[in-house]
């Protein structure tokens, strides 16, 4: 991996790590938060894409681009509501398990992945304890949130695999226009069918929604898609594993949901494993 790709991935993960705390800070229905995140992203992206003629996608690529948009919409439609059902640490850890499939196909990276997984478990282990650090909990509400986060991880894995194939032939602007637009349509449809209140409950809720669009989506996810054309998809997936570490910290700082102390060794293990995967490759470039 080149230093350019490594820097882009680092900036992407930093940006997407603000997604969970910004969503939790928004005074709106969770599914509506997902919808506005994508709708505002498309609105901000529209002028640039129109000027560059980015809406034009060759017919042979349209089915795959539409599929990527549907998968991205399902990802956000499942994951953002999960943040209200289970802890942020648990949700973000589970939603970043998508690299498993990619790494199973690469024998050389499996050892590093096996080193990352215990770190992920330690970061998210507070899901299994109550606020006093006591006995295991099996709340149906939390289990539902965990299941939704896992399903969102599956959608993200498919989205990145499809995106890797498309990004080698489409410009970034063209790809983002179709994918973000498709995700917005999926989420608008979900809000309408499920009769979710679409509007935020207060004017102040628009600020974190705009932040979600500009930071985690237009900056973070756009850089992840850029990286797909410059490095392997499994490395993009692996780098995203740093998100739970950062998201847990931001959520503690801005929302007040403090992670337990056992997150610290887990975070150190995740960072060390990612360094083993990325840094030697960058030095060889």
How many whole angstroms separate alpha carbon 183 and alpha carbon 188? 9
Q: Could you give the percent of the chain with pLDDT greater than 90?
A: 35
Q: Which residues contact 98 (CB under 8 A, 6 or more apart)?
A: 153, 154, 156, 157, 160, 237, 240
Residue 108 has pLDDT above 50, yes or no: no
Through-space distance between the first and last CA atoms of the chain, rounded to whole angstroms:
6
Q: Report the predicted TM-score, pTM, of the whole model to 2 decimal places.
A: 0.78
CB 127 within 8 A of CB 92: no
Beta-strand ranges (E) seen in 211-262 are none
pLDDT computed for residue 29 by the predictor: 96
3-state class (DSSP) for residue 17: coil
Element (DSSP H or E) covering residue 283: helix 263-284
Query: Which of 145, 205, 149, 169 has its CA nearest to residue 65?
Result: 169
- What length does the chain have? 285
**Tokens representing 248?**
């847990």
**Tokens representing 145?**
């949130």
pLDDT digits 0-9 by tens, 207-255 = 999 999 999 999 998 888 788 777 776 677 777 777 877 887 888 888 8
> 172-193 and 140-167 are packed helices; what angle lies between their axes, rounded to 10 degrees?
150
Mean pLDDT calculated for residue range 99-105: 49
Determine which of 69-83, 118-132, 162-176, 187-201 has the lowest per-residue pLDDT on average: 118-132
More confident residue, 255 or 200: 200
Residue 138 has pLDDT above 80, yes or no: no
Q: What's the Cα-to-Cα distance from 41 to each of 6, 82, 155, 222, 247, rounded to whole Å? A: 24, 21, 19, 11, 21
**Tokens representing 19?**
């997604």
């Amino acid at each position: 991996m080149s230093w350019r790709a490594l820097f882009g991935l680092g900036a992407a993960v930093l940006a997407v790590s603000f997604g969970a705390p910004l969503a939790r800070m928004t005074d709106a229905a969770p599914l509506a938060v997902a919808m506005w995140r994508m709708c505002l992203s498309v609105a901000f992206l529209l002028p640039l894409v129109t000027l560059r003629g980015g809406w034009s996608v060759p017919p042979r690529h349209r089915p795959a681009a539409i599929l990527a948009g549907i998968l991205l919409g399902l990802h956000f439609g499942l994951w953002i509501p999960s943040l209200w059902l289970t802890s942020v640490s648990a949700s973000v850890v589970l939603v970043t398990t998508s690299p498993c499939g990619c790494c199973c196909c690469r024998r050389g990276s499996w050892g590093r992945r096996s080193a990352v997984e215990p770190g992920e478990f330690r970061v998210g282990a507070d899901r299994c304890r109550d606020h006093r650090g006591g006995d295991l909990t099996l709340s149906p509400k939390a289990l539902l949130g965990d299941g939704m986060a896992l399903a969102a991880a599956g959608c993200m894995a498919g989205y990145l695999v499809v995106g890797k194939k498309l990004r080698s032939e489409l410009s970034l602007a063209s790809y983002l226009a179709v994918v973000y637009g498709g995700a917005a349509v999926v989420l608008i449809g979900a809000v309408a069918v499920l009769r979710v209140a679409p509007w935020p409950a207060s004017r102040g809720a628009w600020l974190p929604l705009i932040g979600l669009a500009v930071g985690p989506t237009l900056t973070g996810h756009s850089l992840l898609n850029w990286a797909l054309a410059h490095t392997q998809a499994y490395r993009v997936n692996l780098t995203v594993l740093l998100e739970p570490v950062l998201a847990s910290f931001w959520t503690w700082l801005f929302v007040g949901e403090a992670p337990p102390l056992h997150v610290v060794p887990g975070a150190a293990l995740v960072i060390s494993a990612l360094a083993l995967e990325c840094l030697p490759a960058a030095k060889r470039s």
